[in-house]
Every structure is written in structure tokens, then in C-alpha cells.
Amino acid sequence: MVGIFLGSLFGSLALGVPIAFALLASGVVLMFVMGIFDSQIVAQNLINGANNFSLMAIPFFVLAGELMNAGGISKRIVEFAMALVGHIRGGLGFVAIIASVLFAGLSGSAVADTAALGAILIPMMIAKGYNVNQSTGIICASGIIAPVIPPSIPMILFGVTAGVSITDLFMGGIIPGIMMGLGLMVAWFFMSRKDKSELPPRKSIKEILQAIQQASFALMLPVIIIGGLRGGVFTPTEAAVVAAFYALFVGLFIYRELKLTDLYEVLIASAKTTSVVMLVAAAAMVSAWLITVANVPTEIAGLMGGMIDHPLLLMTVIMILLLLIGLVMDLTPAILIFTPVLLPLVKMAGIDPVYFGIVMVINLCIGLITPPVGTVLYVGCGISKISLWDLTKGIWPFLLVHAIVLALLILFPQIIITPLEWMSE
């Protein structure tokens, strides 16, 4: 059954079938093999896949991200980071990392983060004489912090699929996201020591305070979201609505860069992005139901049963498997397909499912910046007008940093679990 499911899925993808329809096709093939094909079951599971209250957070977080870009919030975050570190050697790289960490608390999407910040910073870095491959690499490597620090669209998908607390997933992603940012800073520090570009003058205290004042409304949004979730004021879905309304209000009435005439394009862009994610989520529910009926998790457990008594070994093997999957499959479908397959095995081994979900998301995020399917890489190539090969050469040191962070999280689970227990008290 495992071979039939994966064979039909990857066979469909190899033929160029869109991922949502490939998921449906693999599910239908399983039904035929099991002799239980019924179009009503397919339709019912398809509808149930999208009919989930928690998934309502996705369109609102997507909308919030679009409103932030159109309303000038992204630009002010960059200006704030520039005021702090723009004057030091390799300063624009540090600006990219700091802005990505801050913007991660707003968008929840690696592609949105990379596109928004890359459009601003990559031309600036090229104009200052930075190496274009490394400049694009640091933007892309910083962009994948967005799905780790809350709010995170992939963690919403994992939480819904696995039936675990989305709030716990959000809280548990904060420390790993900061670790990823700090690791990139260390790597960029050593790489930028040979930089000979002209440094801009240091900002005065007055100019720094002005930048903080200008960015204050933008910087308040992550505080509102995390504070509201931590304090139990609202659910993740309600937090998404708050984020969208806040971004709309700030863009219209505070920064006044968002016009009413812009809202149509913002809503259309949000609807297009949401429709893709929701269709994949709905199709994945068909496959998830059939995976359960076909007893695939039990078969997987039988194959890997010897590792259940060795959680560290099991986690290592699963993470290597997911790294390979990330090379050929995008983040969203990988979460939706493999969560129901791997989670029963993880639970049998006594591994915390929230911890597993966070590490799984980080692992698959690395796939976003690895060829040949790395979505974020193509965004970076499009902005900087370089080839995928050139960008791959520029990004490998940052890939190594993220791999080291992932290894630390596997070896020392308490890095996630201990802060999570404190935040959940």
C-alpha cells in the first residue's frame, strides 16, 4: 500500500500534474486497489478537508501579509533595521536578517517574506557592490524563518492535520526561529569581513528614535499576536483576523500609504494564494483518510518498529527522510501528506507531537531553499535576475547554518520543550 500510494503520487508529479490533483489521483488509485471506490467518499472528504475552523486563519494571515506590503509596514521594518545596523561592515546583510525575523512575526509565509524584503534590499545590496549570489542567498535563507516564528501558516496546517494545539506550535517556534536568525548573523559576519563597499554613516540617536517611532505600529503587531495567544485572549484564527484588521487600519489611517482603490488588488492576490493552499489541504484530506483506512501508518511502524525504543535514532531517520522529501516536494503538500503517516509512529516512540511538528516544519523549510523545487530560490532568482545555479553557490553556507540548527534541535529537544512548557503555564 505504501508503494502504491507513493508510486502513484510521485508518478503524477513527474508527469506535471498539479499537486492537489496528484493527491486526489493517488487517493483514487488506493481506493481502486482496495476495492472501495466511491465518488461520494471522495467528495465528502474533499469538502471536510476545507471545512475546518482552524484553517480560516490561513486566508486572514495571507490577507494581513498583503496589506502590510501595500500599506508600507514592510518598508518601515527595513528602515528600522537599517537605522540599527546599516552602518557596520556587511550591514545590509544584517538588515536582511533582522528585518526577516521581525517580518516573520507578521507574514507567516516564506515566499511573502522573501518577495517583500528581497524587492527592497537586493537592489540596494547590488548597488552597494555586494556579491549578488551571496546577497540573494542571505535574503532567501532569512526568508524561511517566516514559517517558524508565529504566526506560521505551515504550523496551522500541521496542527489541523495532527490534531495538536496550534497555539503551542506557535509558542514553540519562537526560540528555534531566533536561533536560525542568530546562526545566519554569525555566518554573515565571517563572510562579510572581506567586504570593501563604502559604509554609510552611523545614524544619530535622534534618527534611530525617529526610525523606531516610524516602525512602532509595525513592531506592535507581533506583540499583539503573541501576547494575545499567550494570554488566551484569542485563538490563532481570531489572531489572524486581528492581524488583518490591524494591518488595514495602520495602512489606511496611520501610514496612509494604502488607498481604498488598492484593496481590490490586495483581496484578489490574497484570494489566489489562499485558494491554492486550501485546495491542496482539501485534497490531502482524501489521501489522509485513505492512508488511515489502508493501515499505512501500521505498515510504516512495522518497517521502522525496531527504532520505536530509540527515539533519537527514529527522529534522525525521519529527519533525513524529510530532508530528501523537501528536495522534491514543496512545504505545504509535504506536511499534509506525511504528517498522518509519521505521527502515529512518533507517538508510539513517546516523542512530543508539538516538538515533532516544529522540527518537521523547520526541516521542510530548508527544502524551500534547496534545488530543484525550492520555491523561495525561484523568488530570489526572479528578483536578482541570476540563475538557479549561481544562487545555489551563494546560499550553501546559510544552508549549512540551518542544518546545524536542525541537528541541535534533534539532539537537544529541551531547546523547544522547556520554553514551551514555560510559555504554556
Binning the chain into helix, strand and coil, the percentages to the nearest 5 are 80, 0, 20
Backbone angles phi, psi at 353, to 5 degrees: -65, -30
Q: Which three cell numbers stand for residue 209?
A: 528614535
Q: How far is CA 45 from the centre of its chain?
A: 26
What is the residue-averaged pLDDT of the chain? 84
Which is more confident, 360 or 161? 360
The pLDDT of residue 137 is 93
What is each CA distance from 269 to 169, 206, 220, 226, 345, in whole angstroms? 27, 38, 25, 26, 39
Average pLDDT over residues 96-118: 79
Q: Which three cell numbers stand for residue 149?
A: 516564528
Q: How far is CA 170 from the centre of its chain?
A: 12
The pLDDT of residue 45 is 80
Instruction: Work out the pLDDT band at 175, boundaries 50, 70, 90.
Output: very high
Answer whether residue 128 shows pLDDT above 70: yes
DSSP string, 378-397: HHHHHHHT--HHHHHHHHHH
Which of 31-45, 120-134, 279-293, 349-363 has the highest mean predicted lDDT (pLDDT)?
A: 349-363
- Given a contact cutoff of 8 angstroms between Cβ atoms, the answer to whether 174 and 419 are in contact is yes
Average pLDDT over residues 57-66: 82
Average pLDDT over residues 110-137: 83
HSE (CB half, 13 Å, CA atoms) of 20? 12
Average pLDDT over residues 100-105: 78
Q: 240-262: per-residue pLDDT in tens?
A: 888 889 889 988 888 888 888 88
The pLDDT of residue 197 is 64
Cα gap 49→403, rounded to integer Å: 33
Cα gap 185→322, rounded to integer Å: 26
The pLDDT of residue 358 is 95
Answer whether residue 285 shows pLDDT above 80: no
